[in-house]
């Protein structure tokens, strides 16, 4: 069983001068859900190499059992330091594909043609596709087999407007995950701020926030089990 995890390569938080990237918990928790199930995890990003870590996700207040495990896992660290380029993996077949968040995807994965092609093919082939928090930014321009927005008519979730306001970035981000999903015709669902909330629409699995990352990964994994 081989699962692709896709991370951002973008490290600038708009024009603020602050750094962004991927959110550590949203990578680490799903990574161990998958590897503990004996899956081989392949990691990719638009630019390849070492993806940027959002420094806020490395703050002491954001640490979890999964992030602590990752920091003591040399093999995982080496894998993260040498991600594949999206252009190299877009046409490969995986058993599942998973997009962690962090604010970086709002700038690069939302527009990356290789990522969009991968998402469209993955969804159309019925392969489990998971995206969590700001990871659903990658769905922005993805289309379905009829040429319309991929999320149109589908139950979806992602980082909410209220959560974005709570972290003070509503005026910084290029677009709102919640508003984008709604504008594309998605049936947006929101749980309590900062609580785990995951929804599925066939093989599409979306999680609202960092607390949803492990649950979203488990849902993706459940779709791979024999019926």
- Whole-number Cα distances in Å, 176 to 53, 93, 97, 136: 21, 31, 23, 11
What angle is formed at CA 202 by the lines to CA 201 and CA 203, rounded to 5 degrees?
105
Range of the domain at 131: 2-223
Quote the pLDDT of residue 136.
98
Quote the pLDDT of residue 145.
87
If you write DSSP's letter for every residue of 110-152 in order, what string do you get? TT-HHHHHHHHHHHHTT--EEEETTGGGGGTT-B-TTSSBTTT
Quote the pLDDT of residue 28.
96
In the predicted model, what is the mean pLDDT of residues 155-184?
97
- Confidence class for position 227, pLDDT limits 50, 70, 90: low
Domain tally, the chain = 1
* Residue 86 pLDDT exceeds 70: yes
- Beta bridge partners of residue 187, listed in sequence order: 155
* Residue 71 pLDDT exceeds 70: yes
Query: Domain with 51 in it: what CATH number?
Result: 3.40.50.880
């Amino acid at each position: 069983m081989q699962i692709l995890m896709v991370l951002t390569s973008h490290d600038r938080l708009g024009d603020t001068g602050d750094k962004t990237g991927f959110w550590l918990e949203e990578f680490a928790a799903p990574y161990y859900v998958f590897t503990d199930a004996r899956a081989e995890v392949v990691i990719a990003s638009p630019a390849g190499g070492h993806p940027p870590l959002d420094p806020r996700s490395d703050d002491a207040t954001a640490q979890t059992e999964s992030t602590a495990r990752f920091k003591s896992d040399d093999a995982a660290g080496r894998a993260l330091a040498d991600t594949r380029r999206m252009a190299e993996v877009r046409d490969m077949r995986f058993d599942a594909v998973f997009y962690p968040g962090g604010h970086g995807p709002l700038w690069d994965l939302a527009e990356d043609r290789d990522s969009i092609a991968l998402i469209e093919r993955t969804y159309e082939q019925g392969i489990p596709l998971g995206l969590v928090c700001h990871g659903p930014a990658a769905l922005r321009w993805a289309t379905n087999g009829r040429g319309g927005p991929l999320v149109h008519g589908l139950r979806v979730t992602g980082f909410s407007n209220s959560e974005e306001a709570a972290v003070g970035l509503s005026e910084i981000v290029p677009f709102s995950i919640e508003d984008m999903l709604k504008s594309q015709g998605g049936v947006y669902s929101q749980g309590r701020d900062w609580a785990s909330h995951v929804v599925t629409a066939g093989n599409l699995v979306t999680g609202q926030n960092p607390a949803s990352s492990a649950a979203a990964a488990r849902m993706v994994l459940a779709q791979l089990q024999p019926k």
